[in-house]
Structures are given as structure tokens and as C-alpha cells.
């Protein structure tokens, strides 16, 4: 299996480890831990002693993150 195929197959999982969950949302594990602690990311689920993050819950939390609104949208009617 090629590396690209292996990487794609690894993201087809429903549950992710802490490191994989952090990479999935685009940050490092330390920042991910901060976001879990402050509620921006969901807490893990447990499978015996292992912590697993649900991709569906990660997606929902990611969708709730604020957007960068630095670009001001202009109304074309304002120019007239």
C-alpha cells in the first residue's frame, strides 16, 4: 500500500487517539489538550483504559469554532 493510501485509510476510523485527534483538527497535542480543557473540543470516550475521540464530535466542535473575520466584506451597493 502506498503512503497516500495508508494515510487515507487511517482517517477512515471513527475513533482517534489524542495525537491523531489533534492532527485531525489541525493543531498539536498540547493545544488540543487546552481546547479539550476549555470545552472547545469534546472530551474523550473510554474503551477500557484508552481515551478515544469521536470524529463526529470533533467535526461538530470544529464547526463551532469562531471564524477569522479580518477580511471586511463590502456590499457592492455601497459604492453607488
Q: Where are the domains of the chain?
A: 12-64
pTM: 0.72
Q: Please, which residues have CB within 8 angstroms of residue 67's CB and are 6 or more apart in sequence?
A: none
* Segments of the chain assigned E as strands: 15-16, 45-47, 50-54
What's the start-to-end Cα distance of the chain, in Å? 59
pLDDT at 8 over 80: no
Give the model confidence (pLDDT) of 51-66 as tens digits: 999 999 999 999 999 9
Closest C-alpha to 51, from 22, 11, 8: 22
**Distance from chain centroid for Cα 71:** 23
pLDDT at 80 over 60: no
Amino acid at each position: 500500500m502506498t503512503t497516500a493510501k495508508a494515510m487515507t485509510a487511517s482517517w477512515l476510523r471513527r475513533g482517534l487517539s489524542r495525537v491523531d485527534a489533534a492532527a485531525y483538527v489541525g493543531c498539536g497535542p498540547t493545544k488540543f489538550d487546552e481546547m479539550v480543557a476549555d470545552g472547545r473540543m469534546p472530551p474523550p470516550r473510554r474503551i477500557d483504559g484508552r481515551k478515544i475521540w469521536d470524529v463526529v464530535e470533533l467535526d461538530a466542535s470544529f464547526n463551532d469554532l469562531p471564524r477569522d473575520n479580518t477580511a471586511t466584506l463590502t456590499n457592492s451597493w455601497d459604492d453607488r
